[in-house]
Amino acid sequence: MTSTETFWTGKLVLVTGGASFIGSTLTDHLLARGAKVRIVDDLTSGHRDNIREPSAAGKIEFIHADLREPGVTRSAIAGVDTVFHLAADHGGRGYVDLHQAGPASNFFLDGLVFAEALRDRHLCQECSSRMDSVYLSCAHHAAR
Ligand SMILES: NC(=O)c1ccc[n+]([C@@H]2O[C@H](COP(=O)([O-])OP(=O)(O)OC[C@H]3O[C@@H](n4cnc5c(N)ncnc54)[C@H](O)[C@@H]3O)[C@@H](O)[C@H]2O)c1
């Protein structure tokens, strides 16, 4: 096996917004590569159905919570090797024009997740900003 094939084996990965379409798909791929996955999602737009199978099989740890609530982000990040931060209030084309407060709150959410990840001495690999919404697609690798 190459190092690429074994990279995720045994790693504990947090997927914020993991009950979303993209988050749950990412989770399936991480599990297939041997990672242990913790999801935190407040289910505002995500769905339990998206993670029903791995949940029923006991393959994921699911935390139903809002990351902005005190202590949630810190405890969700505790002990993880990598964070994929996908939780966000966003929508399709034109969403930000009609829902300005929600997407603006993503700055707070992103800052919170980054601050906690960095506090735990993780290193952010990638940040992306696109179109009218700002989101983060980050892999944090523990500096151990
Ligand atoms: N759908 C797309 O075309 C697309 C394209 C590029 C990037 N993305 C990004 O991928 C990610 C997932 O998007 P999606 O389209 O699959 O679905 P989505 O918008 O439903 O995903 C967001 C997830 O975050 C959760 N969430 C929101 N606020 C939260 C909070 N405060 N605490 C905990 N959980 C919270 C929601 O319940 C949801 O499951 C987003 O970051 C989005 O910006 C999506």
Q: CB of 51 closer than 6 A to ligand 1?
A: no
3-state DSSP percent of the chain in helix, strand and coil, to 5? 40, 20, 40
**pLDDT for the residue 121:** 58
Read out DSSP for 114-135? HHHHHHTTEEE---EEETTEEE
The CATH number for 92's domain is 3.40.50.720
Q: How many domains does the chain have?
A: 1
Best of 14, 15, 21, 22 to mutate for ligand 1, by most ligand atoms within 8 A of CB?
22
Residue 94 pLDDT greater than 90, yes or no = no
**Average pLDDT of the residues of the chain:** 84
Q: Are 22 and 30 in contact (CB under 8 A)?
A: no
Q: CB of 50 closer than 6 A to ligand 1?
A: no
Q: What is the dihedral of CA 23, 28, 33, 36, to 10 degrees?
A: 70
Could you tell me the residue range of the domain that residue 24 belongs to? 3-142
Q: CB of 68 closer than 6 A to ligand 1?
A: yes
Mean pLDDT value across residues 48-61: 97
**pLDDT for the residue 65:** 98
